[in-house]
């Protein structure tokens, strides 16, 4: 009988907790609170608040954690932190536990974080299986898709107890998007754009981030009707489509490499030289002197940091400026970038991110 009462009691408490969660998403248990969030895969994850120790496995999540002024909670980082010019200085001493693909479970367990932040699909589901027994929650948020960025910032803000900062960041982001939309309203003849990734002749097809960026900035991606997101295309086809603007996306690899020294890659001068070199290489490709964009010197290079990820809106602003130079004559995307770096990261802005 006693067992029955105890069992029933537990069941009732459990039902009560679940009811609370489904209504408000949070519930208090003693001193702590439990919050239920929906991750990038649409799965519901319960997290016990306050979160005091976090491990970050992706550069995108790291940027948002820092923008929410929660970097003091970081107890472990990914191995490629040395490539993160903005955040390396304050986080390079933190233990490195793996990367976006694979982690060292022993190290992670030893660090005892409350949560681990990673991408929706990587590392695989094994991460939860291995870490849940240690009481470590895996939070899968991407922060690289424009359409879900605000929601993910809000979720992370809730988990980290930084709702106010999250709101400020979301507001800034939405204002920037609104500004672009207003400026580009009523455009009838969008210019034809060719976007190229790091590898020569690999473009951004339908469903790719590049295609979305191009549309957001008011351009007509010449590869939008192809079949796959990142196809290799023939040079002849580019000539046939004769784009008005060419956008080359320089990923961290290429411009760091060209900047001669990874440690100084953020410095304006080296970056500028690196981006200029990439542009010059494109302009002298065989037969490309017949392309409108090359003839009119409308070939631009943009770095990966503002192309995908939390700063994509800054990248889109550059694109809009390049696509419609007359209409956006007095608009300087670098100012927006400065505003973001200064206000949300308290770091002095430096470097060249577009050319």
Partner 1 sequence: MHTEKIYTEYKKFNAKKVFYILIFTIILGIIALGALLHGPSSIGFKNSFTALFKETGIASAIVWELRLPRIIMAILTGCGLSIAGTVFQAILKNPLASPYTLGIASGAGFGAVLAIIFGGSLYSEYLIAGSAFFFAMLSSLIILSIARLKDPSPETMILAGIAIMFLFSSLSSFFQYIGTMEQVQEIVFWFFGSLSKTGWKEISIVSVMIFVPIPFLIKSSWKLNLLATGDESAKALGVNTTKLRMQGMIFASLITSACICFTGVIGFVGLVSPHIGRMLVGSDHRFLIPTSALIGTILVLVADTFGRILWAPQVIPIGIVTSFIGVPFFFYLLIRRTRGYW
Q: Interface with partner 1 includes 233 (CB under 8 A)?
A: yes
Residue 78 lies near partner 1 (rule: CB under 8 A)? no
From 30-38, 60-68, 135-143, 250-258, give the range in contact with partner 1 by CB under 8 A. Answer: 250-258
The position carrying tokens 């949300």 is 344
Contact, 144 vs 161, CB < 8 A?
no
Q: Which residue has the tokens 């982001």?
A: 173
Task: Determine, following the binding rule CB under 8 A, whether residue 105 of this chain makes contact with partner 1.
Answer: no
Q: How far is the CB of 229 from partner 1 (least distance, A)?
A: 11
Q: Coil, strand, or helix at residue 64?
A: helix
Measured from the CB atom, the residue of 156 and 291 that comes closer to partner 1 is 291
- Of the residues 134, 237, 331, 349, which one makes contact with partner 1 according to CB under 8 A: 237
Q: Does 232 bind partner 1 (CB under 8 A)?
A: yes
Tokens representing 259 are 């900047």
Q: Is residue 88 part of the contact set for partner 1 (CB under 8 A)?
A: no
Is 224 a binder of partner 1 (CB under 8 A)?
Answer: no
Nearest to 89 by CA among 337, 258, 263: 263
Total residues contacting partner 1 (rule CB under 8 A)? 37
Q: Which is nearer to partner 1, 197 or 218 (CB)?
A: 197
Taking Cα atoms as reference points, which of 212, 44, 43, 40 lies closest to residue 119? 40
Residue pair 217/323 in contact by the 8 Å Cβ criterion: yes
CB of 344 or CB of 355, closer to partner 1? 355
Applying CB under 8 A, among 189, 236, 330, 346 the residue interacting with partner 1 is 236
Say whether residue 9 binds partner 1 (CB under 8 A).
no
DSSP line for 162-231:
-HHHHHHHHHHHHHHHHHHHHHTTT--SPPEEEEE-SSTTBB--TTSHHHHHHHHTT-EETTTTSSSSS-
Q: Check residue 199 for interaction with partner 1 (CB under 8 A).
A: yes
User: Coil, helix or strand for 94?
Assistant: coil
- The answer to whether residue 273 forms part of the interface with partner 1 (CB under 8 A) is no
Q: Structure tokens of 167?
A: 């709101």
Are the C-beta atoms of residues 212 and 224 closer than 8 Å to each other?
A: no
Work out how close the CB of 122 gets to partner 1 at its nearest, in angstroms, rounded to a whole number. Answer: 10
269 is a site residue for partner 1 (CB under 8 A): no
Instruction: Select the residue interacting with partner 1 from 188, 290, 329, 330 (CB under 8 A).
Output: 290
Q: Which is nearer to partner 1, 112 or 260 (CB)?
A: 260
Indicate the residue among 124 and 253 with the shorter CB distance to partner 1: 253
* Contact (Cβ atoms closer than 8 angstroms) between residue 338 and residue 262: no
Please identify which residue in 200, 263, 269, 295 interacts with partner 1, judged by CB under 8 A: 200
Tell me the torsion sign for CA atoms 92, 303, 197, 254: negative
Structure token digits, residue 3: 């067992």
280 is an interface residue for partner 1 by CB under 8 A:
no
Which residues bind to partner 1, rule: CB under 8 A? 79-80, 83, 100-102, 197-202, 226-228, 231-237, 239-240, 251-254, 257-258, 260-261, 286-287, 289-290, 304
């Amino acid at each position: 009988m006693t067992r029955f009462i105890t069992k029933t009691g537990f069941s009732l408490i459990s039902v009560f907790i679940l009811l609370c969660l489904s209504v408000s998403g949070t519930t208090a248990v003693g001193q702590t609170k439990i919050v239920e969030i929906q991750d990038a895969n649409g799965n519901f994850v319960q997290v016990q608040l306050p979160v005091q120790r976090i491990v970050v496995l992706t550069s995108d999540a790291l940027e948002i954690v820092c923008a929410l002024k929660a970097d003091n909670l970081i107890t472990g980082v990914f191995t490629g932190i040395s490539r993160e010019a903005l955040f390396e200085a304050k986080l390079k001493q933190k233990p490195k536990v793996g990367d976006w693909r694979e982690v060292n479970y022993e190290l992670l367990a030893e660090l005892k974080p409350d949560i681990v932040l990673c991408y929706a699909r990587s590392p695989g589901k094994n991460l939860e299986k291995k870490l849940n027994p240690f009481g470590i929650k895996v939070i899968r948020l991407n922060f690289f898709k424009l359409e879900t960025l605000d929601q993910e910032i809000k979720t992370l803000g809730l988990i980290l107890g930084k709702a106010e900062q999250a709101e400020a960041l979301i507001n800034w982001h939405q204002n920037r998007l609104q500004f672009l939309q207003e400026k580009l309203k009523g455009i009838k003849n969008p210019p034809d754009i060719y976007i190229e990734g790091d590898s020569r002749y690999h473009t951004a097809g339908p469903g790719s981030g590049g295609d979305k960026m191009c549309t957001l900035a008011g351009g007509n991606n010449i590869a939008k009707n192809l079949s796959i997101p990142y196809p290799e295309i023939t040079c002849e086809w580019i000539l046939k489509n004769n784009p008005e603007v060419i956008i080359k996306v320089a990923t961290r690899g290429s411009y760091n490499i060209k900047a001669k020294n990874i440690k100084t890659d953020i410095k304006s001068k080296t970056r500028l030289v690196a981006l200029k070199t990439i542009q010059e290489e494109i302009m002298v490709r065989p037969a490309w002197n017949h392309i409108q964009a090359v003839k009119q010197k409308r070939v631009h290079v943009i770095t990966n940091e503002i192309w995908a990820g939390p700063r994509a809106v800054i990248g889109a602003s550059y694109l809009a400026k390049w696509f419609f130079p007359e209409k956006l004559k007095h608009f300087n995307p670098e100012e927006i970038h400065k505003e973001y770096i200064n206000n949300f990261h308290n770091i002095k802005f430096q470097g060249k991110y577009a050319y």
